[in-house]
Amino acid sequence: MPTKPPSGLPAARQHRQVAESFGTDAARYDRARPRYPDALVQRIATGLPGPDVLDVGCGTGIAARQFRAAGCRVLGVEPDARMADVARALGTEVDVARFEDWDAAGRTFDAVVAGTAWHWIDPVAGAERAARVLRPGGILAPFWNVFRFPDDVADAVVGACRRALPDAPFDVTAMTKGGLDAYRPVCARAADGIRDAGGFDEPQQWRHDWEWTYTRDAWLDQMPTLGAFTRIPPAALTDVLAGVGAAIDARGGSFTMGYATVALVAVRSGTA
């Protein structure tokens, strides 16, 4: 979830610090973060001119492993060496670099994908770099998992955050209740970047809706991996988790999260 910088901290610096905070507990990130709908992965994979996929901001390789299972050859690019180490241990080849600085060394690909990562990249510069490494007919496909809590769980998260983090550097209500509305500006910015970069057909938006039932422990395991919580004081995080855990206990120890996975898909135009 996009965050706002605290007073006095430049937005670009805060943006980068949050982006680089996920490797603090990379094993938890890989264990707890949701996967992506197989239907989306298959839809992208079956529309490619070939099997070679570049996974930008691959993290611990969650999406990369799904594309490998779909028959693709995947190279990841990841700026955090801690995340890359986990991805490699689980079978994904990774170059450690920011995508903006990455050297393709003449390599080209049939798809450039990014699972819940493209918003950390300059949308025009990222699309221009993707266009340079994509073969004609290849696909640029950033996608995001967007969640929406049940109302009572959302209220519990908002209340716990406001008590523990009265000066939270993120919009608690948007994080818990905004759902797709909160991500529309992110998708619009990415689509505009693709248009401004040139070299692509008009981007299309795909959406896959799904649900996942979390136990109390499973959700509390995932919460610290969200960008809103990776850099807050440990005591405040403990208080937030306690409040949310009590609310989940009160509703029987589990809840079903609604997800929408939204993809922007643009085909590389032109000829080699």
* pLDDT in single tens digits along all 272 residues of the chain: 443 333 333 444 444 444 455 556 899 999 999 999 999 999 999 999 999 999 999 999 999 999 999 999 999 999 999 999 999 999 999 999 999 999 999 999 999 999 999 999 999 999 999 999 999 999 999 999 999 889 888 888 888 888 887 776 667 776 666 677 778 899 999 999 999 999 999 999 999 999 999 999 999 999 998 877 877 888 989 999 999 999 999 999 999 999 999 999 999 997 54
Distance of CA 130 to the CA centre of its chain: 17
Distance of CA 235 to the CA centre of its chain: 26
- B/e letters for 8-19, b = 16+ CB within 10 Å, e = fewer, are eeeeeebbeebb
Q: Which of 86, 90, 70, 66 is nearest to 78 (CA)?
A: 86
DSSP run (H or E) holding 137: strand 134-148
Its pTM stands at 0.88
